[in-house]
Structure 1
Amino acid sequence: MDLQKFTRKAARKRSELEGFLKKLDETVPTGFGKVVAQEDEKVWQHVDCTTCANCCKTMTPTFTKTDVKRIATHLRMTPKAFFDKWLLKEEDTGSIINAVQPCQFLVDDKCSIYEVRPKDCAEFPHHNKRPFDLYNDTFIQNLHRCPATFDLVERLKKRVEDEYEW
């Protein structure tokens, strides 16, 4: 994955794709869930997250208390020791997040705790959230970070414009 090329392309098309997602807040085409599923399947035929890891480089997951306990146990640490070493609590949201970026568990563009990774990481890029249009803000935030999300939104925009009164 050429992240520099992706970043340039995402910057060029960001406004256009954000506008499409914002329009979905107002108007959702009939049968849109089926369209999302079809296009998402196509995305994963050519996107391989293991060649990218941009999410791990530019974002932090939100850790649940269950995540902290599971990962700490895996690392043979107490949850408090794990928290003190790697995490912090955001003052404004109360969310538990990584204290550093890129993620401390990213080693050679691979997750070193993949089997026990946070739920937020396991669900990323959240394309399977339903209904899709309720997560437009999430997708707007991820357009320039996640090639899969960028590709999906670009495909959805084209398909909706081609097949629906928009």
Structure 2
Amino acid sequence: MAIDIEHYKNLAQQKHKAHQKFLTQLKKKPPKNLDRIVKNVHEEVFCEIDCTKCANCCKILGPLWTEADIERVAKHLRMKVSDFEAAYLRVDEDGDKVFQTMPCPFLGSDNLCSIYEVRPKACREFPHTDRKKIYQINNLTIKNTLYCPAAYEFVEKLQERLK
């Protein structure tokens, strides 16, 4: 069953200030065992949410491409780096290499990634809810709740766990 992205986006917008306040407090006074709690909550969320029922990140958020990512994927596709860049990437206003268009050209109609084994680091790490010292990326976490149901659920469960 597909995930209702709009539903989660609306919830994230409604709880934006509460989530922001919670994460700010977490940064000011993180519990000693926060990294372990974050890891457990992350694993719990990803047991409940199947990314292939959503793939919203692949549809609207493009990854930043590192040189290592470009070389690895180009090699996997048996392309020259320059040809790969010309076919798929552009330089954005911040000077970062990003997709020319979205959704991701490697996303199939089944929401599966055709380059999953060699996908960019940004894709492997998204939505960054398994990071140590999670409070260091509060702004990113809040932003991701608007696009990623798992990020929203992560903040909700973390908040519940730490009350």
Give the structure-1-normalised TM-score. 0.88
Q: Distance in 2 between matches of 1:48 and 1:150?
A: 14
Q: CA deviation at 1:29?
A: 2.4
Mapping of residues 51-90 of structure 1, within 5 Å? 51-90=53-92
CA contact (8 A) 2:5 2:147 kept: no
Kindly provide the CA deviation profile for residues 95-146 of structure 1, in whole angstroms up to 9, marking residues without a partner as x: 2111212112111122121121111111112122212211212211201111
Gaps of 5+ in 1: 162-166
Q: Distance in 1 between matches of 2:48 and 2:104?
A: 25
Q: Distance in 2 between matches of 1:58 and 1:25?
A: 29
The percentage of aligned residue pairs carrying the same residue is 38
Gaps of 5+ in 2: none
Q: CA deviation at 1:67?
A: 0.9
Q: Distance in 2 between matches of 1:60 and 1:140?
A: 17
Q: CA deviation at 1:30?
A: 3.0
Q: Secondary structure at the match of 1:28?
A: coil
Q: CA deviation at 1:53?
A: 0.3
Q: Among residues 18, 31, 34, which one is paired with 1:32 in the alignment?
A: 34
Mapping of residues 103-114 of structure 1, within 5 Å? 103-108=104-109, 109-114=111-116
Equivalent AA in structure 1 for residue 6 of structure 2: Q
Mapping of residues 105-124 of structure 1, within 5 Å? 105-108=106-109, 109-124=111-126
Q: CA deviation at 1:6?
A: 1.9
